[in-house]
Amino acid sequence: MRHIVLGSSSPFRRALLEKLAFPFDTCSPDVDESPIANETPQELVQRLALKKAEAVALQHPSSLIITSDQVSVLNGKINGKPHTPENAIKQLTESSGNTVSFYTSLCLYDAQEKNYQLIVEPFFVHFRKLSTQAIERYIEIESPLKCAGSFKSEGLGIALFNRLEGDDPNTLIGLPLIRLINMLNKQGIHIP
């Protein structure tokens, strides 16, 4: 099997990829993630996944490289990672009773052939009405300060939602595994 590298420092993406039960290494790409003027959320995550793959390819020139990027969008505005409890409270308060769109890009980059497969997978989170007390308690328990949208759906964050809408629940955590398996199959890597 080809050497596979996950181009991410995310422990969540690493844990997701481990589900597929094949060996891989990780490499943290160092890229500027700033949006470009007039770039849509979908264009942003697509561009960043490809940039990350190209950066990792410089260190792993004969590998298959998996990269991803994700944004949370509410009312047309991108929500980044909150980094502080105050920002997390603000994000979850704005999300309360609303639908938040997540766009997760996925790139499988063949560094040897210099070609790639690149998609953006949408996922929609329908939040229930949340009290200030519930939001503060959730943030205190789970501390989702490095998570787009200020929650961890794989943990207690599931209690914040009325429903989830999308093809693959792994997408919301940060790596669309169903699409990745299809991409790997096209590269001759069959799971299981």
DSSP string, 59-114: H-TTSEEEEEEEEEEETTEEE----SHHHHHHHHHHHTTSEEEEEEEEEEEETTTT
Residues pairing with 14 in the sheet:
none
Q: Which residues are the active-site residues?
A: 69
Asked if 176 and 189 count as a contact pair (C-beta separation under 8 A), the reply is no
3-class secondary-structure state, position 117: strand
Q: Which H helix or E strand runs over 186?
A: helix 177-186
